[in-house]
Structure 1
Amino acid sequence: MGLDLTPGDDTPLVARGEALFTRGDIRARADDLSAAITERGVSRVLVRSDDSALIFEAIDACDRAGADLFIAHTTIAQDRIEAICAEHGIGLVLNGELDWRSTTQTPADGRIYMMTSGTTGMPKVAGHSLESLLAKAKAGVKRRPDQGGRWVLTYQPTGFAGIQVSLTAALWGGLLITPAERTIGGFYHVSRHWNGTHISGTPTFWRSFLMVADPTQLSLAQITLGGEAADQPTLDRIRKAFPDTRVTHTYASTEAGVVYAVHDGLEGFPAAWLESAPSGVALRIKDGFLQIKTPNMMSGYLSAASQPLQDDGWLATADLVELAGDRVKVLGRDDNTINVGGSKVYPLPVEALILKQDGVIEARVYGQPNPVTGALVAADVVLEAGADEKTARKAILTACREALPAYSVPRSLNFVDKIAVSAANKKG
């Protein structure tokens, strides 16, 4: 049934800055776009924009025209976009204008193609159906009484998490709120201006948001963390700031779709889920990595030399995990592991330990090249205004030395004003 946008419906769907776009507005634009796609016989369309109204228009129009839709991040370089268009027979590029392309048409297969970031090369393209993307939201509509809502979009609108939040808001009859400027101040402004009730964001986003937000000025019914592994200090800070708000952290990816949601306020997920996970999902640990089976995962990469789908149907992730008592904890991605003289250091547990210390509001742990050991552990730390660096340094190093093996203790500890984040509100 798709987005089920009704002609003439004056219910607001997207707030961008202080402007409103109704469901009827977007349906009317989608009608025109669908007709143009059909008239020109285009089978594949690519949208490259952070305008959520345009993304909704493209999803609805392509669904009704029977065309495939490729959703590309605005941060992907233009030459890579051109290569994708040429390789996959894109007949129309939407970027605020209609950029029609003369190309050999590839038959449509009813897919929405999501892309990875492409920061280290050509982005990988994962195929989903609109129904699979809508499945989690549809299940929520049946379960939850709080349909509607005003959803603040902090994720990249073109990323999997951003599309999931957008589709959920649309399916639940809610309002999707996007700032004129994607800054922490911008998110806080629109959250207050439109009285946001649902905010989803990375743990990195939430640590920054808590620096500027006055909880008494917000009316949040739901807080969700995703896009990065949720650490216990951040979960505890959110609970302290918003004691009456439901807090959830999720695991999802471009390849796997939405896998699970945890509501108990603890990092990781219950070890019992390795035997029986919710919602038809299967989870296992193999060689230290999380592997997944879920009905909503991708059909595969459109073109890639190495597929993460195993012969037995499991999806191999790059996320390292450990079984700790009755909990499975995410240690971080394999490509972030620091090799110190042959010993592996996972940044996330070190960051979590630093974040527990008084006065620390953000931390980034990374490898610093060293001619003897290959790398040493380094940390950049942001302190609260007025915190004493000497006292904080002593507390951080003491805590690390007491809790960590010697090779995991930061040898370089730098106090900085801020830590750079990507367009997806993740630490680099």
Structure 2
Amino acid sequence: MSAFVVPIEAREAPARLAVLRRSGRVPLVLDERWPAQVRADILSLLAQTPAPDGAEWAALTSGSSAAPRVVVRTHASWARSFPAVERLLGTLPDDVVLLPAPPSSSLTLFSLAHALERGPAPELAATSSRATLFHGTPTHFAAVLASGGAPRLRAALVGGMTLPADIRVEALARGIRVVEYYGAAELSFVAFDDDGTGLRAFPGVQIAVRGDVIWARSPYISLGYLGAPGPLRRDGAWVSVGDRGELRDDRLRVTGRADEAIQTAGATVVPSEIERTLRTLEGVADAAVVGLPAPGVGRLVAALIEPVRPGCLDAATLRAAAADLFAPAHRPRLWFAGTIARTSSGKIARAEVERRLASGEVPRV
């Protein structure tokens, strides 16, 4: 008889994960922040679609640009990387890992799976007086540093998006070892940077860039998706989710996620590259770039700015800065100011940002 993935509520984790794993069932932690229709669709998928042979864990893609997908994997595909993670972080027997992202996030679920095999004890919270380690996104890590909410932190594992250089510098100044990594729910760890010199292949992984697409050969790859297809592609032992990058002197630079690119007036614009530059401007706390439909050119590049304080930026200042920083096709043409929508793991929720800008819910600068 085929096994089915068992949905559990976030508040039931991590205790129920251990019970389900011991019984040989495949758990999936639901996200309580999902819209009702997304939740209904996921539950319907789980009820109708048996898990593939060998599946022991189910995790979710971030849903940053589309509806989340269910990724299934063996336990070994995660467990093989536990020793490398422990070496990189210098884990000790009594360590506690702070996990600010919800257990529905694949990065948090990884650490919960690690804890079941005598890894660091997990603490699902935004702050902790006990935590000595951290695992989460740069957004969560920056918040922890800003709040001083984890005074005993010794090392941090940070992934999900590019880590701003100033956050690494601040952490190091506080004596916190930082290990940044690039990966995906489908691929797990692909590359890491533990000294600020750039991403290099994670232990056990081979990396290749074909054209501008990142491929990996790895023992940490998932089995694929439950039901609906996704961006995971296979070419023999090599796999890719379509993310773009450059590989020079064994250092990987991730230039964009597979589903982010904006086609505008014959040019291809990678939002993460524009965002990275916008964040360097005075008065900009954060930035999100999306494409809004525009007849004749495909899409217009639009930037949503989170200002350091309300009213500190105006359109003329932003346009002048963009003219100095970007080629004409890559300059944002529409500017907005407001709060950036994020996924539960802290990544930019691009589909929701685009919807809010297109609907007029966010004011123009």
- 2:153 pairs with 220, 224, 231, which one? 220
State which of 58, 61, 65 in structure 2 corresponds to 1:113.
58
Find 1:252's aligned residue among 183, 201, 214.
183
Structure of greater Rg: 1
**Contact 1:359 1:387 (C-alpha < 8 Å) held by counterparts:** no
Write 1 or 2 for the structure with the bigger share of helix: 1
Q: Which amino acid aligns with 1:284?
A: A
Confirm or deny that 1:415 pairs with 2:361.
Answer: no
Aligned to 1:153: 99
Report 1:318-357 matches (<5 A): 318-323=242-247, 327-357=251-281
Calculate the TM-score normalised by the size of structure 2.
0.81
User: Partners in 2 of 1:397 and 1:121 — Cα distance?
Assistant: 30
- For 1:168 and 1:213, the matched residues in 2 are separated by 27
* Shift in Å, 1:291: 1.0
CA distance in 1, matches of 2:324, 2:210: 30
Q: What is the alpha-carbon distance in structure 2 between the residues aligned to residue 202 and residue 116 of structure 1?
A: 14
Q: Kindly provide the CA deviation profile for residues 53-111 of structure 1, in whole angstroms up to 9, marking residues without a partner as x.
A: x434444334433334444444342243133213328xxxxxxxxxxxxxxxx9x7462
Q: Does the Cα contact within 8 Å between 2:255 and 2:270 map onto a contact in 1?
A: yes
CA distance in 2, matches of 1:404, 1:119: 25
Q: Is contact 1:363-1:380 (8 Å) kept?
A: yes
What SS does structure 2 have at the residue aligned with 1:335?
A: coil
Paired residue for 1:128, among 52, 64, 73? 73
- CA change 1:281–1:119 in 2 (3 A) is closer
Select 1:168's aligned residue among 114, 118, 134: 114
1:327 and 1:415, CA in 2 relative to 1: closer, same or farther beyond 3 A?
same
- State the shift of 1:325 in Å: 7.1
Equivalent residue number for residue 166 of structure 2: 236
8 A contact 2:82–2:114 mirrored in 1 = yes
**Deviations, residues 276-305 of structure 1 (Å, cap 9, x unaligned):** x34221111123111111111113334445
Return the offset for 1:201. Answer: 2.3
> Over aligned residue pairs, what C-alpha RMSD do you find?
3.2
Unaligned runs of 5+ in 2: 350-365
**Which residue is equivalent to 2:44?**
82
Q: Residues 128 and 81 (structure 1 numbering): CA distance in 2 closer, same or farther, change over 3 Å? A: same
CA distance in 1, matches of 2:297, 2:55: 51
Q: How far apart, CA to CA, are the structure 2 residues paired with 1:328 and 1:109?
A: 31
Instruction: Report the counterpart of residue 299 of structure 1 in structure 2.
Output: 223
Paired residues of 2:134 and 2:156 also in contact (CA < 8 A): yes
Check whether the contact 1:300–1:309 (CA below 8 A) recurs between aligned residues: no
Structure with the bigger RCO (C-alpha within 8 Å, sep 6+) is 2
Residues 208 and 347 of structure 1: is their aligned pair in 2 closer, same or farther, counting only changes over 3 Å?
Answer: farther
Verify the 8 A CA contact 2:138 2:159 in the aligned structure 1. yes
The secondary structure found in structure 2 opposite 1:310 is: strand
Measure how far apart 1:364 and its partner are: 0.9
Distance 2:244 2:2 in 1: 42
Per the TM alignment, residue 173 of structure 1 is displaced from its structure 2 partner at its CA by 5.0
Q: What residue is the counterpart of 1:205 in the other structure?
A: 140
- Indicate the residue corresponding to 2:6 in structure 1: 46
Q: Which amino acid aligns with 2:155?
A: Q
Of 243, 264, 285, which aligns to 1:361?
A: 285
- Separation in 2 of the partners of 1:218 and 1:349? 33
Q: Detail structure 1 runs of 4+ shifted over 6 Å in the superposition.
A: 118-122
Checking the alignment, whether the CA contact within 8 Å between 1:113 and 1:125 is kept in structure 2 is yes
Write out per-residue CA displacement over residues 230-275 of structure 1, whole angstroms, 9 at most, x where no aligned residue: 15xx232342255121112112222112223211225x524xxxxx
- Corresponding residue for 2:322? 400
% identity of equivalent residues: 23
Letter in 1 for 2:39: A
Task: Note closer, same or farther for the CA distance 1:330–1:146 as it changes in structure 2 (3 Å cut).
Answer: same
1:61 corresponds in structure 2 to 19
Distance 1:375 1:173, change over 3 A: closer
User: Does structure 2 conserve the Cα–Cα contact (< 8 Å) formed by 1:68 and 1:109?
Assistant: no
- What amino acid is the match of 1:293? R
By how many angstroms is 1:172 displaced?
4.6
Q: Are residues 250 and 172 of structure 1, via their aligned partners in 2, closer, same or farther at CA, if it must alter by over 3 Å?
A: farther
Conserved? CA contact 1:300–1:307, under 8 Å? no
For residues 291-329 of structure 1, the C-alpha deviation after alignment (integer angstroms, 9 at most, x for no partner) is 111111113334445672424121121211134677432
Gaps of 5+ in 1: 1-40, 90-105, 180-186, 271-276
Deviation at 1:341, TM superposition (A): 0.6
CA contact (8 A) 1:147 1:174 kept: yes
> Is the alpha carbon distance of 1:344 and 1:389 closer, same or farther for their aligned partners in structure 2, counting shifts above 3 Å?
same
Q: How far did 1:335 drift?
A: 1.8
TM-score (normalised: structure 1) = 0.70
Count of residues in correspondence between the two structures: 343
